[in-house]
């Protein structure tokens, strides 16, 4: 439908080489507020689909030059979410079944009853609406849980996510607390065929030993004291989607054995129940512990370890990929300022230097929390070095100076680095003038820049 035209029921494209059929079906559909477009052959139909916003297609199997199957395949290539209903004569049922396997929504046998065609179109439109809603929600989730990074380590992780997401391969994500293990799990889920299904999280470290089995598998009424009604477990709730078992290294050996069985058999039993329940759940696990060491110490089952580690993703700490800091800062400043309705603050180069030097014990989670404080306390302001130092102290690490402690040699080098950087910034990166004011040669200055890792690219426009 061309821009500016409206249809209450939707826009239907009728494709048939018999003018009488097109005329008859058009009258029926127009009486129910559908906008109707028609085509006598496949080539014309494809042009109409390309140029108009079509909601559903009624496509005859027998067409001149290009038959309905070929037209359907081309539609599926260009607009796979567009519902197509095949029209077929009695002797062409096998072809119609083939069309459904290719991607057609349904098929109707001629002569078509008006009530049946209206119901089928209504169902096709509802499916299309749900598919569009699903696509929107998935895109919204991908944006909400967006992963940011330019380091080689993160680029490799992004590439791996794209490869494994379409599969049902089990994934083990390791790394320190706060590096973004759950974000990676969500990225895998929302890029998979299970994206429309649930993403269920269970933090194994947060659930008491006596309750974790019930959380995982559910329980029957009366199974234990306090079980006043039946409850479904995370495995069942995540069926058709993904179950993310965070901190799986904190799970007891007894529960590990039951999790292994559930993964291998695709079956569970509620606590206190006898019914075998089939589940179709993708498992993604995460841990901040050394699971290989736990296996050697017999604290983690070896068979479960290799079952969940089909694909292993290790996320390095932020201190080992500091080139990601500017991108993360920029992203969180924009997102959190927009969410809070406040003007975005900017970071002075001296403040950025502090953030580059800081070891980030809480990783990306800590950085996000810091940016949130910046947005709340300094909206629209330029954040200085002193501001950042105060905020870092507010993070709960005590005296910030302790974080930057070291030997006398370390202190001297740090002071020298800061002096050089301050001069460069004051002189707008004029190397000749900076070397002169520091009382050193230009060659010595460049050697110092290389030694201390000072690059002009660090002066970023926030």
DSSP class per residue in 308-340:
H-SEEEE---GGG-GGGHHHHHHHHHHHHHHHH
Tens-digit pLDDT profile for residues 226-239: 888 999 999 999 99
Number of CB atoms found within 10 A of residue 58's CB: 26
- 304-317 mean pLDDT: 96
Tens-digit pLDDT profile for residues 17-68: 999 999 999 999 999 889 999 999 999 999 999 999 899 999 999 898 899 9
Lookup: tokens for 450: 């290389």
pLDDT: which is higher, 109 or 310: 310
Distance from first CA to last CA of the chain, Å, rounded? 44
**Residue 11 pLDDT more than 70?**
yes
Q: Identify the band that residue 4 occupies on the pLDDT scale cut at 50, 70 and 90.
A: very low
CA neighbours closer than 13 Å in the CB half-sphere of residue 344: 15
CB distance 348 to 341 below 8 Å: no
Tens-digit pLDDT profile for residues 174-226: 999 999 999 999 999 999 999 989 999 999 998 988 899 999 999 999 888 88
Q: Identify the band that residue 283 occupies on the pLDDT scale cut at 50, 70 and 90.
A: very high
CB distance 337 to 343 below 8 Å: yes
Q: Identify the band that residue 131 occupies on the pLDDT scale cut at 50, 70 and 90.
A: confident
pLDDT of residue 396: 52
pLDDT of residue 407: 56
**Residue 292 pLDDT more than 90?**
yes
Q: Identify the band that residue 2 occupies on the pLDDT scale cut at 50, 70 and 90.
A: very low
- 121-143 mean pLDDT: 81
Tens-digit pLDDT profile for residues 153-162: 999 999 999 9
| Structural domains in the chain plus CATH codes | 10-137 (3.40.50.2300), 145-316 (3.40.50.300), 322-458 (1.10.8.60)
Q: Could you tell me which residues are beta bridge partners of residue 15? A: 39, 59
**Residue 259 pLDDT more than 80?**
yes
> What is the pTM for the complete model shown?
0.67
Tally of helices (H runs) and strands (E runs) in the chain:
20, 16
pLDDT of residue 242: 97
Coil, strand or helix: which one is 195?
coil
CB distance 268 to 308 below 8 Å: no
CB distance 381 to 345 below 8 Å: yes
**Residue 398 pLDDT more than 60?**
no
């Amino acid at each position: 439908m061309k821009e500016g035209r409206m249809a209450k029921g939707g826009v239907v494209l009728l494709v048939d080489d018999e003018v009488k059929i097109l005329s008859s079906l058009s009258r029926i559909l127009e009486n129910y507020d559908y906008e109707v477009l028609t085509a006598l052959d496949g080539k014309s139909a494809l042009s109409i689909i390309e140029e108009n916003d079509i909601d559903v297609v009624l496509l005859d199997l027998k067409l001149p030059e290009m038959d309905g199957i070929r037209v359907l395949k081309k539609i599926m290539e260009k607009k796979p979410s567009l519902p197509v209903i095949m029209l077929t004569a009695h002797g062409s049922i096998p072809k119609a079944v083939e069309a459904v396997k290719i991607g057609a929504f349904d098929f109707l046998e001629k002569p078509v009853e008006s009530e049946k065609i209206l119901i089928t179109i209504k169902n096709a439109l509802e499916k299309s609406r749900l598919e569009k809603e699903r696509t929107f929600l998935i895109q919204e989730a991908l944006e909400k849980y967006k992963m940011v990074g330019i380091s080689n380590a993160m680029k490799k992780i992004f590439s791996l996510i794209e490869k494994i997401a379409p599969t049902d391969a089990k994934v083990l994500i390791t790394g320190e607390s706060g590096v973004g293990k759950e974000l990676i799990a969500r990225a895998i889920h929302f890029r998979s065929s299970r994206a429309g299904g649930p993403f269920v999280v269970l933090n194994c470290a947060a659930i008491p030993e006596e309750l974790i089995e019930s959380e995982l598998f559910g329980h029957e009424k009366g199974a234990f004291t306090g079980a006043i009604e039946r409850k479904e477990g995370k495995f069942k709730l995540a069926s058709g989607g993904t179950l993310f078992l965070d901190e799986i290294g904190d799970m007891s050996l007894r529960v590990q054995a039951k999790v292994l069985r559930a993964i291998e058999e695709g079956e569970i039993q509620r606590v206190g129940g006898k019914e075998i329940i089939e589940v179709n759940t993708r498992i993604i696990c995460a841990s901040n512990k050394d699971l290989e060491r736990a296996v050697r110490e017999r604290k983690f089952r070896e068979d479960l370890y290799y079952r969940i580690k089909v694909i292993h993703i290790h996320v390095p700490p932020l201190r080992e990929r500091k080139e990601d800091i500017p991108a993360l800062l920029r992203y969180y400043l924009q997102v959190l300022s927009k969410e809070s309705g406040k003007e975005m603050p900017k970071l002075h180069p001296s403040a950025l230097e502090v953030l580059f030097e800081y070891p980030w014990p809480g990783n990306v989670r800590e950085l996000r929390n810091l940016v949130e404080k910046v947005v709340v306390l300094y909206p629209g302001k330029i954040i200085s070095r002193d501001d950042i130092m105060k905020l870092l102290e507010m993070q709960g690490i005590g005296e910030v100076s302790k974080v930057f402690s070291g030997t006398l040699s370390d202190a001297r080098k740090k002071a020298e680095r800061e002096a050089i950087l301050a001069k460069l910034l004051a002189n707008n990166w004029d190397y000749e003038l900076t070397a002169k004011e520091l009382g050193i040669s230009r060659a010595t200055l460049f050697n110092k820049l290389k030694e201390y890792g000072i690059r002009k690219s660090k002066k970023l426009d926030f």
